[in-house]
Chains A and B, each alone.
Chain A
Amino acid sequence: DTGVSQDPRHKITKRGQNVTFRCDPISEHNRLYWYRQTLGQGPEFLTYFQNEAQLEKSRLLSDRFSAERPKGSFSTLEIQRTEQGDSAMYLCASSLYRDGYTFGSGTRLTVV
């Protein structure tokens, strides 16, 4: 297993455009998490899935954000009508139940 993969690594988009990120977790992990990190801050929780069910969403996850995990495998995070404040590193992690997390390298989003 090659760990948690995130695609793309970098994304530059114009304000108002939609973007979608993908996360491929470790295959045997049933939990998948999305975090957002801005410069100089620790990662902030956005949402997590157990298998295909989205069990918790942070209030940071506005209506413009949506996450899916069809069939409990890979996950996508979509941001609609991007704003400059959405510029951040988006991190995905996976775990087996309550075990520790394995993080991906993240997708860096820049909204211009």
Chain B
Amino acid sequence: DAKTTQPNSMESNEEEPVHLPCNHSTISGTDYIHWYRQLPSQGPEYVIHGLTSNVNNRMASLAIAEDRKSSTLILHRATLRDAAVYYCILYYGQNFVFGPGTRLSVLP
């Protein structure tokens, strides 16, 4: 079973920041937090991942709570191309277990 909890859907206006939350209260010390997104009719694509510290890359930022029981994916300026299903996944080296994710709608 998926070990993460995410809202089913969220909306954002174009050009505004988006904060996508994920709860993972049963996370273990060896679990990495991965975020993937899936655009319509495509396979999931990597967004970002982290273990304990906040992470930044060209796509997004990942803010991890101090107790690691939750994290937030931050899209700094949402564009229409960011409309997708976003998955938060705990990964310890076996296989990814996907939940239903958060469907992000971006309004022009």
Query: Which residues of A come within 8 Å of B, CB atoms?
Result: 4, 33, 35, 40-45, 48, 56, 91, 93, 97-98, 100-106
Number of interface residues of B (CB under 8 A): 22
CB of B101 within 8 A of CB of A42, answer yes
Query: Which residues of B come within 8 Å of A, CB atoms?
Result: 2, 34, 36, 41-46, 49, 85, 87, 91, 93-101
CB of B93 within 8 A of CB of A103, answer no
Set B41, B46, B93, B100: member contacting A41, Cβ < 8 A: B100
The interface residues of chain B, by DSSP majority, are classed as loop
What total of A-B pairs shows CB separation below 8 Å? 48
The 11 listed contacts between A and B (C-beta, < 8 Å) are A4-B43, A35-B98, A41-B100, A42-B99, A43-B44, A45-B95, A91-B44, A101-B96, A103-B43, A105-B41, A105-B42
The interface residues of chain A, by DSSP majority, are classed as loop
Q: Give Cα distance in the complex from A102 to B43, angstroms.
A: 9
Point out the residues of chain A lying under 8 angstroms from B2, CB to CB. Answer: 42
